[in-house]
Amino acid sequence: MASERIERLEEKYGAAYKWFAVFAVIIGLLAAIFSSTMINVALTNIMADYSITQASAQWMSTGFLCANAVCMLTSAWLLQNIGARKTLLFASALFFTGCMIGQFAPAFNLLIFARVLQGAGAGIIQPLSMALVFMLFPENRRGSALGMFSMVIVLGPAIGPTIGGVITDSLDWHFTFTAALPLSLCAAIMGWIFLPGREDAPGTGPFNLISFLLIALTVGTLLTGLSNSQFHSVTDWQVIVFLAIALVAFALFLSRELRSRTPLLHLAMFRNPKFVSAVIIGAITSAGMFSSIYMIPLFARTVQMSDATHAGLLLLPGGLALAVVSPIAGRLVDLMPTHRLLLVGVTLFVIAAYALTHAEQTSSYLMIAGWVLLSRVALGFILPSNSTLGLSSVDTQRVPQASGALNFCRMLGGTIGVNIIALLITAHSVRYQNEMIDLNNGAPLSPSQSVEAMTLTFQDCFMIACVFIALALIPVLYVTFTAPKRTKKNPAD
């Protein structure tokens, strides 16, 4: 049994073994998340080198997030059939291949393929991290471990753009693909040493390839349809056809999952109101987080005309604050009901998102970085408490599947959020530019008018993101009002 293997490893490496095992996966996750965000500050350089539009460059982020979300559903099967050690090594191999292709890609299409491979590797690692926490730690210590996990989830996006900006300005944007390889290799070595192998019990059966292809088709065509709507009317066939395919593929996926003995997504978990609440909160806050990671560097570069390093530095203080807050919030999860931490976190996130709606060309670094910092503090409270809420609501044997489902919905929310924000940036910028051209009686825009149009565009998009994030208060309040009254503190509340 896996528990027996873990006990033997703990006897071999001592009391700190559990942390060594968790750090092995967390380092791999950190490498993957670094790569997911380092490229954002280099988008303008990539657009210039390949002569592509912002909408095309957006697929650098979308391709990563799409593969990331879909491959999260494979993590539970891999964990139960080949073990944690080989799962991490397989994910690291995918990530390494994507890094090397991206470093030397001669064409933009290969660059997107590299991002897909990186995203696939990252997608396998993230649910593995959460599942290992529940496998290795007792209930009263899981919050602290999940605090470390949550720190990496948001610390990576905060520091990644800063590192990416320095690399882009001082070396070349190609090196943003391989900068995280030392971390990935370190994770693979530690995983080989410290992670347990496969359980002695029989596996779950053959991999459900058809369901995997159906959900990949669903996500891929959905994002393509959303992307096409930037250039065509929503009633155009290039939008309708892809969205219709996504709808049909998703219906077939659900039908197959209900009948399959080895489903990728155990739909029975969604009958649990607490788990569904955690899924909704995770999807909404992830959409807000990834949208801000996408928008803030782009705002700095297109409105404030900053270089890549400055654009990345806007996210750095938030990452450093998160490094302090996440372990504290994780410990609080062990000591008090999760719904209280969620209420505090989501409220702070809404306040920070609203403050960013006032950002403009003359806004100081301290102002923007300060509000980003508050949003990262908020996420430091949200992530460990929401993970605990979701995973503690299912049976122990369902934790790997619940982890995969929770992370899949979280990343799908982030992926759709980035696509919608990119679509809105394109639509609103065109609208404001056309209005100003009309005011100029058809004359071209001056540089100051172009900046004003983009400023109004980003202010609109920050406001839309703020309203969407506020929707997470609905499931948070539901969990709060339905929580049982207890005389003793219970971390699973």
pLDDT digit string, tens, across residues 321-353: 877 887 788 788 878 888 899 999 999 999 999
pLDDT-derived band at 54, boundaries 50, 70, 90:
low
What type of residue sits at position 68?
Answer: N
pLDDT digit string, tens, across residues 64-88: 878 888 888 888 888 888 888 899 9
pLDDT digit string, tens, across residues 235-283: 777 788 989 999 999 999 999 988 888 888 888 888 899 999 999 999 9
Residue with tokens 């960013």: 356
Name the phi and psi angles at 163, rounded to 5.
Answer: -65, -45
Residue with tokens 């992926």: 415
Q: Are 319 and 439 in contact (CB under 8 A)?
A: no
Residues 6+ apart with CB under 8 A from 470: 350
The pLDDT value recorded for residue 349 is 95
Spatial separation of the C-alpha atoms in residues 110 and 41, rounded to whole Å: 19
Q: Check residues 193 and 200 and name the one with the higher pLDDT.
A: 193
The pLDDT value recorded for residue 337 is 84
The pLDDT value recorded for residue 463 is 94
Name the phi and psi angles at 203, rounded to 5.
Answer: -70, -175
Percent helix, percent strand, percent coil in the chain, to nearest 5? 80, 0, 20
The pLDDT value recorded for residue 253 is 92
Q: Check residues 210 and 438 and name the one with the higher pLDDT.
A: 210
Other beta carbons within 10 Å of 461: 26
pTM of the model: 0.77
Ranges 58-62, 114-118, 119-123, 182-186: which has the least confidence? 58-62
Does 492 score more than 60 pLDDT? no
pLDDT digit string, tens, across residues 286-328: 999 888 888 888 888 888 888 777 777 887 888 788 778 877 8
The pLDDT value recorded for residue 203 is 58
pLDDT digit string, tens, across residues 7-35: 677 777 776 788 888 888 888 888 888 88
pLDDT-derived band at 55, boundaries 50, 70, 90:
low
